[in-house]
Structures are given as C-alpha cells and as structure tokens.
Chains A and B, each alone.
Chain A
Amino acid sequence: MISSVKQHGSYVLKARNFFRDYAEDDENDTCPNLDCGIPSRWTALELLSVTPYNHDTSIFRFALPSGMHKLGLPLGGFLLVQIPAEDHDGYTPTLRPYTNINDEDTMIMSDDSPAYFEIICKRYDQWGEKESPSTHFLFTRTDHSYRPPGIASNYIHSLVPGQILSFKCKLSPSYCYNAYTLINR
C-alpha cells in the first residue's frame, strides 16, 4: 500500500515507517531475546559519556541495566532506540536501529564504573534544496533532493551525560518470520 502525505498542494510519497510495529511493548512478543542484556521491552538507560569520532560522528557509551555484565546482543540483532514524540512532531515516537560496536570481552569494569555498551551515531543535517510552492510549480524547479535533518541522530547528539534514552533489543526483522500479522503495510 502506498501512503502519501499532502504537501504544497500535491500528494508526495511517504516512506514507510519500517519499525513502527515495534513501538508498543507486545506481551506476545514473537521474537523473544533469550540472552540479551537489554530486554525486548523499552528500557531507559543512562548516557555515560560521549566521545567525538569525526566531524559529524560520535561514540555514545550507555550504562547497561543494573546486574548485567555484558550486552550479549545476538548476531543480526539490533538495539531499537525510541525518540519521544514530543521531541519532534508530537504524534509518533521515532524508532531507529543501532548496533553496539564495542568489544565486550575486553571491557574493563570496576566497582565505580558499571557495565556499558557503545553505539556510534552519525549526525545528519538537512541536505539538498528545500522544496517550496514556487519550486513545486509543475515540478520544474525541484530535483527532489531535499532531505530533512535526521530526527534520531540530532536528538542523540543533543544528549549530555546523565540523560536517558529508551532502548529495546530486537532480532533482525528479516529473520522474524510471521512477526507481522498483516503484510503489505
């Protein structure tokens, strides 16, 4: 099914929100995560530190839930990040997949520093020529190159150590057969 939104007097195709089925915590979760440090329910985790990597990318270190010694994300699994709705459009939370990049076997832990995991996040600025009613006249003056700024990446880059972010562990949807009750959505 093609969804579209009305913008500037014409219907513009809207990208499908790939992860929107995961927004709610499902009691009958068809993809249980057996041995992952983060459950398949939304878990608020604290940001420990931010390490800049290059001009637009940083490595974010989050604390694991208390009592966990390592993340143990299964291969092909990912961490879903939830950006609250009130921080961008006020309607739906934004969900994005991330994968931890740190080597868990060489993780140095002590009593005062809890177990952690790290994700790498690239910040996306807005890009291309912004479309307006004048550029939309018969589609002659737009190259459809406009991309809005990244919702999740800008939100994560605005966090400071001590703030929290909601995480959830998921297997890759390609390998969750019948995870959806409906297709063509």
Chain B
Amino acid sequence: MLTPLSTDSMPICSGRIGDKLSNIRTLTMIAVGVGIAPMIQILRQIVRSHSQQTTSIQKVTLLYGVRTVQDILLREVLESWQEQFSDIFTLVFCVGSRWNNIHWGAKSKSEYIPPPLPIGFTTLRAHASELGWVNEENISKYAFPPSEDTKILVCGLPGVYDKICGHREDADLSPDSALYRLGYSSDMVIKL
C-alpha cells in the first residue's frame, strides 16, 4: 500500500547528526564488521573536539563485533585511541559468532569444555574483549544506561539492524529488538 506523505508538515532535512550529538554526555557506538567506517569518522571528530574542549561528550564506548581477530578493521587506529584517550574512549571487542554461546554436546554446565580462544584473542589491547556476538547481554554490560543525555549509534550489515534496533528504513525501534528490550527509546538510537 502506498501512502503519500505531506511534504510541509515537517522541516526538510532538519537534523544533521552533528546536531544530534551536540547536547549529550555519553555516547555508545555499536559497530559490526565494516560498520566501523562511519564510527571512525565520528570518533575522530569527537577526540579532536575533546582535546579542544568544544564538545559536551564525556564518555564514548565502542562495541565492535567481528567474527575473527583478523577481521578487525583499523585496529591500530582504535587501539592507539584507546591508549591515548583512555579517559574518554572505551573500546570493547566482541570476537566470535553466535555459535560461541551455544554449548555443543554438553549435558551439564560442569561437563562443558569451552572451545579454544580465537587466534590472536589475547593480543587485543582493548578495555575489554568478549567472546561471541554483540548481543543483549554485552550491550547491557558495556553500554550507557538509558537516559536523556545519551545516544546509541548503530551501524553494520542489514541483519545487525534487525537484531539490535529494527529495520534501517524504519525510524522507530522495533519492539522485538535488543535495544527496545533494554529500555532505550527511539530518540536515543541513531541508525547510521
């Protein structure tokens, strides 16, 4: 069904993302795979304006999900920021896939032998490294809790949007998404 939208009810192109990030204190970034590219752009702007003291953002947390350690893009840039701007920037890697969270063949928890760590997992110089996907548990552990002066940026492949915040074309959070269940509202989440 096609529904025409009234073109004069809302201002055209009213908000840029820079305006959206101007009056907040904490920022959570959720990037999966190649979704790191816009985060790099925004992070570079944030650390630059933080050193010039022209931003209100005090804490930034980046949750970066990848399948293997070799898939981490721009790792040296992120790790240098983690060391250089450790007062503002927190870097968390989530390495693995959703299969990491399934205990194959184990009858009980005591019987379960965890698989070996991913290759290169111990070489990561991040604030924290998690095994598995960027899931609800990891978001609730590291992301800033819902409040008026926080925002969450999400970027990744289309399946990532569906799980974390709902379809990319929809402006609102979908009720079965992870961020909705964690209590975030639509105006706190920015789908890049």
- Spell out A's residues near B (CB within 8 Å): 1, 15-16, 18, 30-32, 53-55, 57, 73-76, 78, 98-101, 103, 105, 119-122, 171-185
Contacts and interface: CB of A to CB of B under 8 A. Distances in A.
A28 to B, nearest CB: 11
Interface stretch (B39-47, B82-90, B103-111, B139-147): B39-47
A175 B4 contact: no
B1 to A, nearest CB: 6
Interface in B1-45: 1-5, 7, 10-18, 20-21, 33-34, 37-38, 40-42, 44-45
Interface string B168-189: 1101000000000000000000
B74 A101 contact: yes
Given A1-B1, A172-B17, 15 more contacts: A1-B2, A18-B169, A74-B16, A99-B41, A100-B37, A100-B41, A122-B33, A174-B168, A175-B15, A176-B12, A177-B15, A180-B5, A182-B3, A184-B1, A184-B3
Secondary structure of the A contact surface, majority rule: loop
Please provide the 6 A-B residue pairs with the shortest distance between their CB atoms, ordered closest to farther.
Answer: A76-B17, A99-B37, A99-B38, A75-B18, A75-B17, A177-B10
Interface of B: 1-5, 7, 10-18, 20-21, 33-34, 37-38, 40-42, 44-45, 48, 70-71, 73-74, 158, 168-169, 171, 190-192
Contacts of B45: 75
B18 A76 contact: yes
Contacts of B4: 181-182
A137 to B, nearest CB: 26
Contacts of B14: 175, 177
Given A1-B1, A99-B37, A175 B73 contact: no
B16 A174 contact: no
Contacts of A78: 38
Given A98-B37, A184-B3, A174 B192 contact: yes
Contact of B169 (A16, A32, A103): A16
Contact of A76 (B7, B10, B38, B158): B38
Contacts of B158: 15
Nearest to B77: A101
Contact of B13 (A30, A55, A99, A101): A30
A166 to B, nearest CB: 19
Contacts of B5: 178, 180-183
Contacts of B15: 175, 177
Instruction: Report which residue of B33, B38, B71, B158 has the largest number of chain A beta carbons within 10 angstroms of its beta carbon.
Output: B38
Q: Which of B41, B48, B71 is the most central at the interface, judged by chain A CB atoms within 10 Å of its CB?
A: B41
B38 A55 contact: no
A62 B190 CA distance: 29
Contacts of B48: 105
A163 to B, nearest CB: 22
Given A54-B70, A75-B41, A174-B191, A182 B2 contact: yes
A177 B38 contact: no
B20 to A, nearest CB: 8
Given A30-B13, A174-B192, A175-B16, A184 B2 contact: yes
